[in-house]
A and B are shown apart, each in its own frame.
Chain A
Amino acid sequence: MKKEKNGHMLEENEDIQYTTCYMCACRCGIKVTLKNGKIRYIQGNPAHPTNQGVICAKGSSGIMKQLSPARITKPLLRKKNSERGEAQFDEISWDEAMDILVSRLKKIRETDPKKFAFFTGRDQMQALTSYFAKQFGTPNFAAHGGFCSVNMATGMIYSIGGSSWEFGGADYERTKYFLLMGVAEDHDSNPLKLGLGRMREHGGKVVVVNPVRSGYGAIADEWLPIKPGTDGAFILGLIHVLLKNGLYDRDFLISHTNAAYLVTLDEGGEDEGMFHLLHERDMVNTQNTVWDRKSGGIREAHLSDNDPALLGEFKSGEGKTLRPAFQLLVERVMEDGYLEKSAAICGIPAKTIERIGLEMGITARDNTITLPIPWIDAWGKEHKTTTGHPVSIHAMRGLAAHSNGFQTVRALSVLMMLLGIIDRPGGFRYKPPFPRPVPPCPKPINKADQVKPGAPLPAPELGFPSMPEHLAIDEDGNPVRIDKAFSWEFPFTAHGMMQNVITNAAKGDPYHLDTLMFFMANMSWNSTMNTSGVMDMLRQKDKDGNYVIPFLAVSDAFFSEIASFADLVLPDTTYLERHDVISLLDRPICDYSKAADAIRHPILPPKGGCRPFQQTIIDLANALGLPGFCDESGKPLYKTYPEFIANWMPSPGANVGFLAGWRGAGGTKHIVGEPNPAQWEMYIKNKSFWEIQLEDSIKYNRTINQGYLNWSQNMKFKRDNEPIIMHFYSEVMQRFRLAAKGQRKGRQPKTPAQKKRILRYFDPLPFWYEPLEHQLADGGKYQFHAITQRPMPHYHSWDSQNAWLRQIMGQNFLYMNSARAGEMGINDLDWVWVESPWKRKIKVQVKLSEAVQTDTVWTWNAMGKYPGAWNLDPGASEAVKGFLLNHLITEELPHEAGGFISNSDPISGQAAWFDLKVKISKSSEPGLYPVFKPIEPLAHMEKRPGILRYTVDERKK
């Protein structure tokens, strides 16, 4: 007898379950058909806001992840006399594993909690992991953001209170002109693909700005092969064109941004470069000012009868010289020959920049969208309609992963403000809980003595500093954190600087660690810079023969490179075997006009002895008696992770928690409501996600939309309902500059180098500077930029264990411009030496291409594998032909003050992956370099099958 479920007729031995994909971090909803307890089929969940039924290559291959013989299913302890990285382990029980870890952590917590560092990768449970670290009391927590795309996040969040990444995107339905900059795949993979498909449907123009034309570039109407690291110059060129031709949205600038605010120009004072204020400067009631053209005088900003000037110079009552912020930008970009200068930097002809600028500006101007949606702004003014311009821009790591990325993304934000294309129909749209204040409220710990034995941190590990007082430094101005995030060198490190952890810990700079724990991050391989060097650091011993990083614990589900380096391996489940939340506290699945979150729940039993890491966190917290997890007496409050999720609240009575749906008794409340013990079941019943649609009137202009601001305050997304004014001009940055100049009371940088750095890079208006590595590398010798792309069918290093995905791609090449290679006598499939200025080299195979900028070479990211890792044949092409560019990338640059400094953006701490410059020479000998000694498969892993015939069914006759 067949039974009906969700529109399917199922046999007795069949079932349908909905959960959330985790073949990448895009968080699509999936529908899994099971037969005889095995997976029959994984497809997109049509009802899901993120993917609307579609699914990508990885998501479709989930079956093979489950089947991988590289699964680790037993806790492992490095064999007594074996060396790190040799992957020689003893299988131990969970009890032993927990004992080892708990006893170490207990000791650390009681003495010096910062000696425990906990860094996580592409996980989606940072709300939990950071909470654990905070309650433990260590400041040394961060997730992958710092080495990922933090420039994209902070550059925009410090400008407009929201960002692309998964936090916002383009209004693809309405956009008529779309600029896609530096994107190969994006975090928002399926939404972006859906959007591009839709754009192609209604005929908007797609322009791709990228040194490489690949996947998305294929369907672009125009490709602009830009030189890496120069987008800032290109964007400022566009800004020049818009300003020169008056193609900007004056009303938007005045109502939504601080472009009209008057900036004090008088030098030397505490207010130099700060906004002129009508009343006393205090944090709550600052009254910014504009020059009212109607009355011919200075007035408070945003008064409804103002007619603010954007240009000009004015005198204040006290005789201060004031100019609107806009005027300052005009002065910056309207110099003679500005466009030609930009063109020379970015390699895109001035004529083209001009044409693109005009196309964008004119498309915006002449295609204004008016929707019959009335709304009220934050100052009470009623608007009968909602308007917007159908131009949008989406950018990602191509802009972010450079050491000038923060300012580039600032430039991008300003460009978007000029066009008036932020959170309006046709433009960039926020996803709740964005927009957030510029910058958002959470501030990191800011004093060394906040880290106390046996106590939780009083503030989060991560946050958004808006003044030097928010930096995590001690009294001497030295970093509190192991990764030196939130230091004078890297003030806006909102996501931490995971890329520095191993190097700093190995050097003991700023201090040594005791226990380092990684979760879901392949830090000895593809997610680190200087891979070979970092492997050596992990193996480095002090004079007593002890490892300088004494203990390395790793949670992994697969026999990865980092697992092979661990002292203790905690085998994790896969996404189909565990509970998870994709929470509003973290990276939710919200859509432009929906608030939403989602769960995972186990639809298959955990394989072997693996255990969900979430549960391990709860168990650790309980064993350590951490407050928040345990009551005052140290008695655990929650036994299991699902229990914790359903009941936990940030403070008693807060009535918000990890999951927003079906709160309150009976599950009748949303977002705010008491815990509901039946919450999980209600999610499962609703196909594992929850959503609420915003009303039309609060979908747009949300930074100044009264209705939205009130709603978001009620929903506790925001502390207050104050309007969010976009930072066309960044006073926040100027504050740091003033500190560096010694014109501001409070914390000031101590060393000349620190001062110089802040002065140079903390410009309140966007500008372009040469990426740091380019400044140092000999451009004559190292002529090529070397960058990477995400391959669509692979997720970082995960998918080489996947039998199907590795067939699609199992080797990467170094792609070179054909003509350029021709000049150098390099042919298709030749082997070449690639050397970086940091005395590192690799030998790899070349493929010639017409789709790459002449000064650029590139390869697919994370294809190369350590021989034997992932339970692949040590002779697999991933190991003997595939390679990592990471060996060449340096994690540190020489510091002008002597010593070394992280190769990262001086503002945000973003790892500068794409600043790499290389020299290329033909090799007479084929063959990969470097080659490593293979590791053996773990004893308990399944043998690699010679033939794979996956099915769940008998064939019908």
Chain B
Amino acid sequence: MRPERSLILLLVLAGVGQGIFVFLAVADIAWGSYGWARPEVIYWLGVSSLAFAFAGMAASLFHLGNPMRGWKAIIRWQSSWLSREAVSMGLFSGAAALYLLLYFFSAPSGLRTLVGLAGIFAAFALYISSAMLYARISFVREWSNKLTAINFMAFGLASGVAVSYAVLCLLGFNYTAVREIAAVLAAVGLILKAASLAFNKTVYVPLDIKNALVMNEPNIKLMSTGTSYEHYNTKEYSSGFTDAQVRSVLILSLFAAFVLPLIIWAVMTQWPDTPAAGILASLAALSMIAGLIAERGLFFIQGNHLQNLYYATFRSNSASNPLLSKAKKGTPAPVK
């Protein structure tokens, strides 16, 4: 699929925002009474959560052909994951904002907790609906699997905690525990990404142009797409990247999203009182965000849509997938 910038930004940035909020709310609820909930911490974490979420939402508007009508997206929440995404996005940002307001207007903590829990719920609803939006496209096998939702959550939380840690460090609170949580989440993220790459290796859709035309003949060759030029259906469903480019994106994404932050944090472990903690933690967080942007790009690039059968650009199995050229043929996993 074509890696759409606005969607990539939406998924990564909103994911960060959600992650920050989840971290903030959990920390506030669980540790608040331990003096953790200092106004500047709550404020900066809350604001960054909202900032990331809004940045993501703003980016997503660029994806829409008619952003002015964007609100209509909430109409069909009963059937459409995209609609649910919009609804949860609204709920999430509402809850997060309310949470902040409640804090600053010193509302009763029970109410705040309630809103915090609602925000956490909305954040997860948003992770899941964003993910399900893709996972439900059964014509893209690289998307339509359980790992999609798990990864969306894991990467969102990891990046949220990484950013939260950076914010804390910048505020002068270099909490080891938070760094450790971030590291664990990043490690989990790396493992999940590896798992999803491994899964993609096994993706094998036993369909080819024969099935597309329902003609059981060998050697079918596309001679004309019906136009001499590209059009929506040839552009939207292909990434336009070469195999080599894809491989470098893969390496970049893994390194920047997971490896580099882990290294930075490991260094920080060895250097507990560094005055550069803020800078280092920010570097780690930025690297992770950059890496996740690449990772999300890859998510699109690797998505191989069934309609490509008609344009002879469909890769029926991993063996012909340039990313995974050395893998062996997986078990057939027919499309539902």
Chain A residues at the B interface, C-beta cutoff of 8 Å? 806-811, 847, 849-850, 877
A618 to B219, CA, bound (A): 60
A673 to B229, CA, bound (A): 55
**A contact residues around B219 at 8 Å (CB):** 850
A850 to B223, CA, bound (A): 10
**A contact residues around B229 at 8 Å (CB):** 807, 810, 877
A811 to B228, CA, bound (A): 6
Q: Give B226's nearest chain A residue, CB to CB.
A: A808
A and B contact pairs by CB, cutoff 8 A, 19 listed: A806-B228, A807-B227, A807-B228, A807-B229, A808-B226, A808-B227, A808-B228, A809-B227, A809-B228, A810-B227, A810-B228, A810-B229, A811-B228, A847-B223, A849-B223, A850-B219, A850-B221, A877-B228, A877-B229
Q: Which residues of chain B from 224 to 249 have a CB within 8 Å of any chain A CB?
A: 226-229
Q: Give B219's nearest chain A residue, CB to CB.
A: A850
Q: Give A877's nearest chain B residue, CB to CB.
A: B228
A-side binding surface: helix, strand, loop or mixed?
mixed
Seed contacts A808-B226, A808-B228; 15 additional CB < 8 Å A-B pairs: A806-B228, A807-B227, A807-B228, A807-B229, A808-B227, A809-B227, A809-B228, A810-B227, A810-B228, A811-B228, A847-B223, A849-B223, A850-B219, A850-B221, A877-B229
A170 to B22, CA, bound (A): 78
* 4 A-B pairs with the lowest CB-CB distances in the bound complex, closest first: A810-B228, A811-B228, A807-B227, A809-B228
Q: Give A849's nearest chain B residue, CB to CB.
A: B223
Q: Which residues of chain B from 192 to 240 have a CB within 8 Å of any chain A CB?
A: 219, 221, 223, 226-229
Q: Give A851's nearest chain B residue, CB to CB.
A: B223
Q: Give A214's nearest chain B residue, CB to CB.
A: B223
Closest Cβ of chain A to B217, distance in Å, is 12
Closest Cβ of chain B to A222, distance in Å, is 17
Residues of chain B at interface, number, CB under 8 A: 7
**A contact residues around B228 at 8 Å (CB):** 806-811, 877
Closest Cβ of chain B to A61, distance in Å, is 14
**A contact residues around B227 at 8 Å (CB):** 807-810
Q: Which residues of chain B from 93 to 136 have a CB within 8 Å of any chain A CB?
A: none
A868 to B227, CA, bound (A): 21
A806 to B228, CA, bound (A): 8
Q: Which residues of chain B from 123 to 151 have a CB within 8 Å of any chain A CB?
A: none
A246 to B35, CA, bound (A): 111
Closest Cβ of chain B to A316, distance in Å, is 62
**B contact residues around A849 at 8 Å (CB):** 223
**B contact residues around A808 at 8 Å (CB):** 226-228
Closest Cβ of chain B to A832, distance in Å, is 18
Q: Give A878's nearest chain B residue, CB to CB.
A: B228
A250 to B169, CA, bound (A): 106
Closest Cβ of chain B to A946, distance in Å, is 15
**B contact residues around A850 at 8 Å (CB):** 219, 221
A877 to B221, CA, bound (A): 23
**B contact residues around A809 at 8 Å (CB):** 227-228
Closest Cβ of chain B to A949, distance in Å, is 15
Q: Give B223's nearest chain A residue, CB to CB.
A: A849
Give the residue among B223, B226, B227 with the most A Cβ atoms within 10 A. Answer: B223
Closest Cβ of chain B to A677, distance in Å, is 50
**A contact residues around B223 at 8 Å (CB):** 847, 849
**A contact residues around B226 at 8 Å (CB):** 808
A850 to B220, CA, bound (A): 10
Q: Give A848's nearest chain B residue, CB to CB.
A: B221
Closest Cβ of chain A to B313, distance in Å, is 14
Closest Cβ of chain A to B218, distance in Å, is 12
A55 to B273, CA, bound (A): 82
Q: Give A811's nearest chain B residue, CB to CB.
A: B228
Q: Give B228's nearest chain A residue, CB to CB.
A: A810
Closest Cβ of chain B to A794, distance in Å, is 11
A418 to B228, CA, bound (A): 46
Give the residue among B226, B228, B229 with the most A Cβ atoms within 10 A. Answer: B228
**A contact residues around B221 at 8 Å (CB):** 850
**B contact residues around A807 at 8 Å (CB):** 227-229
Q: Give B227's nearest chain A residue, CB to CB.
A: A807
**B contact residues around A806 at 8 Å (CB):** 228
Closest Cβ of chain A to B228, distance in Å, is 4
Q: Give A808's nearest chain B residue, CB to CB.
A: B227
Closest Cβ of chain B to A828, distance in Å, is 9
Closest Cβ of chain B to A212, distance in Å, is 12
A810 to B223, CA, bound (A): 14
A808 to B228, CA, bound (A): 6
A257 to B227, CA, bound (A): 49
Q: Give A809's nearest chain B residue, CB to CB.
A: B228
Give the residue among A808, A849, A877 with the most B Cβ atoms within 10 A. Answer: A808
A347 to B199, CA, bound (A): 53
A847 to B229, CA, bound (A): 15
A809 to B228, CA, bound (A): 5
A810 to B228, CA, bound (A): 6
A877 to B228, CA, bound (A): 9
A810 to B221, CA, bound (A): 20
Closest Cβ of chain B to A800, distance in Å, is 11
What does the 1/0 interface line of B42-81 toward A look like (CB < 8 Å)?
A: 0000000000000000000000000000000000000000
Closest Cβ of chain B to A496, distance in Å, is 35
Q: Which residues of chain B from 21 to 53 have a CB within 8 Å of any chain A CB?
A: none
Closest Cβ of chain B to A126, distance in Å, is 34
Closest Cβ of chain B to A756, distance in Å, is 46
A850 to B222, CA, bound (A): 11
A802 to B111, CA, bound (A): 67
A807 to B221, CA, bound (A): 21
Q: Give A828's nearest chain B residue, CB to CB.
A: B221
A544 to B45, CA, bound (A): 89
A47 to B227, CA, bound (A): 32
**B contact residues around A810 at 8 Å (CB):** 227-229
Closest Cβ of chain A to B234, distance in Å, is 13
A806 to B223, CA, bound (A): 17
